[in-house]
Amino acid sequence: MHDVVNLAEKLAKIDAHWSPRVVAELNDYQLKLVKLQGAFVWHRHADTDELFLVIQGRMGIRLRDGEVRLESGELYVVPRGVEHQPYAEDECQVLLIEPRGVVNTGDAEDTSLQAENDRWI
């Protein structure tokens, strides 16, 4: 009933990049931990914003009209409908906040990095 989520412990259990794992829910939103390395597919989420909070490391988010760079302790919200491509040169640990059921690859035709939804760790 009073479970505390230790992010470092949960991240240590994640062994694959681009494979988000749910660690908590808040109303209809899921908090997901993910390890990033390399480039993800270009995609958009038509119906929802997507929050990226860097826990450790550095990452970038390419947008069609520019780029956002994030370091540990920084966050960025990609607005709904905005095409984006997250990437990280070196491994980066991130907390995502998005509504339950969101497909990580959004509308991308390339679904090779599509992760199974609702995988808890």
Structural tokens at position 41: 């597919």
Cβ partners under 8 Å of residue 113, min gap 6: 18, 40, 41, 104, 105
The Cβ of residue 120 has, within 10 Å, a number of other Cβ atoms equal to 11
pLDDT at position 1: 63
CA angle 99, 101, 103 (to 5 degrees): 100
pLDDT in tens, 43-99: 999 999 999 999 999 999 999 999 999 999 999 999 999 999 999 999 999 999 999
Tell me how many domains the chain contains. 1
Asked if the model's pLDDT at residue 22 lies above 90, the reply is yes
Residue 37 counted as domain residue: yes
The CA–CA distances, whole Å, from 44 to 77, 98, 120 equal: 13, 13, 24
Residue 47 counted as domain residue: yes
The CATH number linked to 93 is: 2.60.120.10
Q: What domain range is 81 assigned to? A: 25-98
